[in-house]
Structures are given as C-alpha cells and as structure tokens.
Structure 1
Amino acid sequence: MLVGILVVLMLAPAAQAQSDERCFPETGFCISGRIRQFWEQNGGLSVFGFPISPQREEQIEGRPIQVQWFERNRLELHPENPPPYDVLIGRIGAERLALEGRDWFTFPKLNRPLAGCRFFPETGHNVCGSFLRRWREIGVELDGRPGLTERENLAFLGLPLSGEMQETSANGEVRLVQWFERGRIELHPQNPAPYDVQLGLLGREIQEASAALQASQAGGTAPAPETSAPPPPTATPTPTATPAPVARPAAPSIPSGVRIGAMARPGPPQNAHGRG
C-alpha cells in the first residue's frame, strides 16, 4: 500500500507537466508553463504563430536565457523579474536587421510629427494609418484591465526603427513594411481585412538564416525550410519619410521598460500596474 502511494506521488509531477503542455502537430512542438500562459494571454496563434522550436537555453546579450521561438517572435523567460515581466518578447526586429547588415540608425528620419500619426522622438519616426492601427491592436497585458495602454503596446512591438518602406521579399513580392524593435508590420492589400495588415514571420526568418549559416560554416547543406530565408530586401522609403540627416544619438531617451540598440534591458517599471 505504502509503495503504491509513493509511486503515485512520484508520477504526479510528470503527469502534471504533460497535462500543462499544448502541442501543435503542424510543427511538432509544444508549449507549457509560463510561456504557454503568456502566449495564450497575449494573442495566441494569430499574433505569435506556431512554435518552431522547443524551449531551450540560448545566449541573449551575453546571458544564458531560456527561450522558445515562434513564427513571429521569440519569448524569453526572466524569472528574476516579477510577473508579468518574467516573460519578455525578444528584440528580433533589431536582430533581423542586424543579420541583414542594415543599421537602423542610418534609416531616413523625418524627426517631426505628422498629422494623424504617432511620433516617437526616441527614434525620429512616425507610425501612421494601418501601421498605427495594428501597433495599437496588440500589446502585452500588464495591468489586468480591459483595453491596451500605450505602455502595453510598447511592451509588444517596441519603438519604430524605420518609417514606412517598400521592400521586395524573397518571392519577389513588393510590399510596404515598417520595422519595430520586436517585429515588422507588413501591408498585404491583396488580402481582405483584417488579413491585409500582418506581422512578419521574423522568428521563422531568423531561424532559417541561422540554420543556413551553421550549415555553411560546417560545409554542409541546410535542411530545406518551408520558406527560404530572404536576402536583404530592397528598401525604398515612402514619400512621407523625407530624409533628414541625423547623427547617431549617443544615449537616446528611452521610456521605462524599453530597450534600444545594444543598451541593457532595464528592470520592470516601478509603477507596474498604473496607466498613463
């Protein structure tokens, strides 16, 4: 009798861990624990896409971090932070640009507000129209209250790193995009609403580019991905982003909880549950 009870107690944690998993046959990966909670609470499949890796340790800014990759994002576990800041979205917009050899500090900047747009003096860019609507539609739930505050929007996509730009994808599609710290918003006017404004598949692009680089360094051939990693796209600023020569700021003013460039990630805002 006692032996049976001990066996049940030993198996209980494993059974609980399995029941906590949500698996996706489309990619063969599962999510669980805080990453699953964060994924489900902040948009799920329509925002993050499918998981494309297991949870694993990676070096992020020189630190070992538990991460999991999704089609559009990378989620990072930071147990040193109190919830909800113990799960953060990786800065894969900035990382993807760096992989392409593109310095976002050199992108043309308007450096003044445009009517009907949200101007970000921290980077000198406006977010307008469909891009602004989509930026405001998604965010990280921080205060448990209905609706999204601008701080919650910033926690998801971050600051704009570019104005609106025309880019040519790997399949030859010319599309209007705008880059942000943690993502890329794309216009697909051939699609009906709301699918005409989408988040780019940056998680998939970075993973495929990394696999190709590793295979090249090893002298082998990378596994054939679902979508080949695009080369650095041809980018043309839209007319609204009139170029203005601007020197690289030595220390831009950064809102609390937001990282820019290679600056260290600050801790969670002190006023963690307020608005405004």
Structure 2
Amino acid sequence: MQRQTKRLSRVLFLFSLLLTAPIWTLHVSAATLPYRIEPSLTSSVGQQIRGLAMSSTLLVWEDWRSGTPDIYAYDLTDNREFRPDPTPGYRTAPAVSGSRIVWVSGKESTQRQIVGIDLGQGQRLTITSAPAEVDQPAIDGDIVVWRQRINGTWQIFARRLSDNQPMQLSSSDQNHGYPTISGTRIVWQEYQQDHWKLVLYDLSTRTQTFLTQGSLDEEYPHLAGDWLIFLRWQPQSSTPQLVLRNIQSHEERVLSQDHFIGVAATDGKRVVWEDWRSGLAGIYAYDIEAKQEFAIARSQDVTTPAVNPTTIAWIAGLPTGQSRVQAVALIQRLPTDPQDPPAVPSPDRVYFPQTQHYVSAGFKAFWQAHGAEQIFGYPLSEEFTITDPATGEKVTVQYFERARLEYRADRPENERITIGRLGVELTQDRAFQPIAPFQSTSDRLYFPETGHSLAYGFKTFWETHGGLAIFGYPISEEFTENGHTVQYFERARFEYHPEASDPNARITLGLLGREMLERMGWLPRPPLDTTMLMP
C-alpha cells in the first residue's frame, strides 16, 4: 500500500502541472560554454509522438499521425524526414545506433517481434524471430538489448547481430525493465524488496553488479560511456533527484531535485532532461566537463529529450493536441565569433565595433606601435592558443584583417611578439620562380635569402613601414592578380591601387588574415562575382 501511495502521489503531482496550454520558446543561457546553441530543425506535425531517440546521424520516434503507430526518422546529415519502413505495420518503441534502427513490431502484446533496418547496408534486421511479449529495445553498435516477459515476469535479453541466439542476462524471478547499453556494459532496473534497484551487467566478463544500496528507488537509467543518468526517489518523497554517476570512479552529482523531473538522457558529454522547476515543462541540459547547467527550451508541453555530440532534440506539443520534434544544434565556439561590447570600457582592452572583437595587453601595444589599422587591420578573432607544428610549442595568436600576431612566452621580452608568415602559408601551393641574382641599387634590392627583388613604390613602402621585421623577405616578384599589381612577402601582400584619389592609399596590404580564416572555414567566404558571366 505504501508503494502504491507513493506512485499515486507522483502521478497527481505531474497531473497538476499539465493543466496549461502549450507554448514553445527557445531559451539558452550558455554564454561560457565551448559551443553556441542555435535552432536546428522542426519535424512535420505528428500525433502522439513518443519514444524519441538519437544517434550521431539519425533522429527516430514513434508517431501516430496515420492512425496507427509507425516509426519516423530524420537524417541529420541531409535534413530529410522519412519512414525507415514504408510498408504498412504497427511499430513502436524505436531505438537507434549509427545507421541501425530497431523497433517493436506487432499490435498484439504477446505476438510482437523486435525488428529493424541497417540503413547503411540496406539490410533488414530480425532481432527476435519468434513472436513474444517484448518491449523497450536499446541498441549500441551490433548489440541489441530488450525486455521480454517470461513466465509472468519481465526479463532482460541481449543479442549480437552476428549471433543467431539471444541470451538472457537477468537471473532473478523479479521484474526488470528499462535496459540501456553502452559498449559491452548494460544497465537495467530490477524490482527487489519493494524497491527498484539498478543493475550493471558486463557482457565481456559476464558479471552482474548491483549499483543501488539501501532502501532507495532508482529508475529510468541511461548509460553512455562511463556516465549513467537516472532518477532516485528518497523515502517518503514525491519528487525525484536527477543523479549523474560515473560507474568507474563512483563519483555522483545531483543535477536537479525538489520538483518533478521527466525523461533524461546522456551522450557521455552532456545530460538532457525534462524539468518542471518553474511549474512549466522545460528542457534543461548539463555539460559534464564544464559542470554547468543551461536551459534549452521552456514551454508548457515539452518532453522526451535526446542528445548527441552536436544536437539536442525533444518532443514539443502544439495547442491543437498534435506534436512535433524540435532540435537545436551545438556549434563549436570559435575565436572568430563576434563578442559583445564591454559593459565598462577599459584602456587595457580595446573593443572594435567594426569587427566586434577586442585587442588587449601585449598585442594591443604591438598593434598600436607598428602601424595599427593600416598595417594590421582590425581584429578578426580573440586571442587563442595553437601548437606550432614545427616546434610543438604552445603559441598564443590573434588574427587581424591583414596579419596574425603571435606570442611566445619563452622568448626574450623584445622577441616574444612576432607576425605570422601568412604570405608563405597562403602561397604554399604556388610556385614563384626566383630570378637571376644582381647587384642591389638604390632603386632595386635583391634578396639572396629568397631569390627575389624589391623596387620602386613597394620598396619605399617596405622601407618606411617596418621593413624586414614587419613584412619579411619578398617571396615573389611583382605580378598582376585580380586586376592589381601585387607582390607577396613572408608576412604580407602589397597591392597597388592607382585609382585611389589619396596618393598615400595607393599601396595597401592585402587581407591575408581574413583570407586565412576563410580558408580555415572560420569566416564565410565572399560570394562569387558572376557578373562577367552575364550576356
């Protein structure tokens, strides 16, 4: 009776929260996370959507839009929604790993099978050949686990796709449920002594371990790598704790408590769950490494979140009673991402609204002392660290429109800041033939270090704006590129613009910093000029 009362109080608590109309809004508070979060996809409108699951490339769910349950999928690589099996059928409880999707097939509860499809191989999968009472499949790689009713109790089974026979993993005559698998480790919940306890089974060693101690109820596990997420119910409590446990180190973190918590999932890097802390349903997430929680969606009808390394998805209810799948993308933050202006300006850290980036400390002093915007342009990134491929040392760098500044802490103080060799890096695939040596004159210099020369206006600019220390040696002769006379140097590209009305603006430096970031994919490339193709 006590057990039934506890369950009833949980149901009543949830029902009291569902008496509101659904409204979905994106709400992200993750400013310090290593990724930014942007709306990604919205599926077609469905009916009674449930059982959302996700791999690195696929979203799958159960949908009643045709009047009977079927499995729908969304390909995250080509943004395409489809039915994995277009034939008529009664399909529920999907699970997915890579390109493999499995589900429960059959309407009569005692006459069901677990089947599926390998989209990568174009091959249908039959997991359980004989009709039986089966449910709750899960898959990772080539191993499928599920629960099956045997002699009146639910037992846990597993099968490798390469094996013909399934194997029973659970050994007691109690009920078991909610199996979850990662690699060769499987966790499920088992009813023992009036409580749900978590069990860990290792397929590689065929060993079983109880993870739950004492008189606590622990339910709805989800495993990814070493991290296990589950709900823990304290005695006499009507609301659970959301617990994250490392099954190797046994570290535990309570992520949320003191209010209703729904379905939770993890990919081993993040945890996502349905959360009612505000009195309305919301989708929250937790970054395991950063130890930071952030809100994803706040609504009055969102449920069943799923997560992979690049996407968080959930089911969103609509005022019509229908529902659909929505998702956000987790996009790796880049040093080129625009920055907000400072709340309080500082003379040590200058913000440039032209490019929405900062320059500070030593780079700021170097930039100001050696030509500022004319020589370097505005900043296009924040400072960040790279590994020098030639030496293996860590180097702090910052990109500007025309250059890359580099800082090496282990060098003498006056040599710590240098300019990157973008001219060399951007022309590695081009052959600039050296010229025959000659004796330098006041009008034209020859550099045996690179086999190239420097003359006239470019020579004057080079000598008056920093010379070798700023631009390096010439690595080409003058030639015509994109309609202008140019010359490449180790750290720059000189350009001659005779059309400029200001004589001081006729020689400029090319935007090598921007071109390098575009080549890296960190800045969008400019649109192609196709006007010359017009008749």
TM-score (norm 1): 0.61
Cα distance in 2 between the residues matched to 1:40 and 1:19: 13
Structure-1 residue corresponding to 2:38: none
In structure 2, do the counterparts of structure 1 residues 158 and 224 end up closer, same or farther at CA, with 3 Å as the change threshold? Answer: closer
Aligned to 2:411, which of 58, 77, 81?
81
Aligned to 1:57, which of 385, 391, 404?
385
Give the drift of 1:119.
1.2
Give the drift of 1:64.
2.3
Cα distance in 1 between the residues matched to 2:528 and 2:435: 28
Matched, 1:95 2:425: yes
- Deviation sequence 1:17-53 (CA, Å, 0-9, x none): 9541000011110011100010011111111100000
Structure-2 residue corresponding to 1:191: 500
Matched, 1:111 2:437: yes
Question: Identity over aligned residues, as a percent?
Answer: 34
Structure-2 residue corresponding to 1:144: none
| Contact 2:423–2:489, Cα closer than 8 Å, also in 1 | yes
Cα distance in 2 between the residues matched to 1:23 and 1:229: 31
SS at match of 1:194: helix
Give the drift of 1:179.
0.7
Which letter maps to 1:124? G
Cα distance in 1 between the residues matched to 2:500 and 2:489: 22
Cα distance in 2 between the residues matched to 1:198 and 1:44: 13
SS at match of 1:84: helix
| Contact 1:70–1:204, Cα closer than 8 Å, also in 2 | yes
Tell me how large the CA RMSD over aligned residues is: 2.4
In structure 2, do the counterparts of structure 1 residues 228 and 135 end up closer, same or farther at CA, with 3 Å as the change threshold? Answer: farther
Aligned to 2:401, which of 71, 74, 81?
71
Which has the greater radius of gyration?
Answer: 2
Runs of 4+ in structure 1 over 3 Å off: 15-19, 227-230
Aligned to 2:462, which of 132, 135, 142?
135
Runs of at least 5 residues in structure 2 that lack an aligned partner in the other structure: 1-342, 530-535
| Contact 2:434–2:450, Cα closer than 8 Å, also in 1 | no
Aligned to 1:43, which of 357, 360, 371?
371
Cα distance in 2 between the residues matched to 1:156 and 1:228: 31
Cα distance in 2 between the residues matched to 1:156 and 1:54: 21
| Contact 2:399–2:405, Cα closer than 8 Å, also in 1 | yes
TM-score (norm 2): 0.32
Which letter maps to 1:58? I
| Contact 1:208–1:228, Cα closer than 8 Å, also in 2 | no
Structure-2 residue corresponding to 1:181: 490
Cα distance in 2 between the residues matched to 1:165 and 1:74: 24
Which letter maps to 2:470? F
Which letter maps to 2:370? N
Matched, 1:159 2:473: yes
- Deviation sequence 1:78-103 (CA, Å, 0-9, x none): 121223211000001000102xx114
Structure 1 or 2: more helix by fraction: 1
Cα distance in 2 between the residues matched to 1:108 and 1:85: 30
Give the drift of 1:124.
1.6
In structure 2, do the counterparts of structure 1 residues 96 and 229 end up closer, same or farther at CA, with 3 Å as the change threshold? Answer: farther
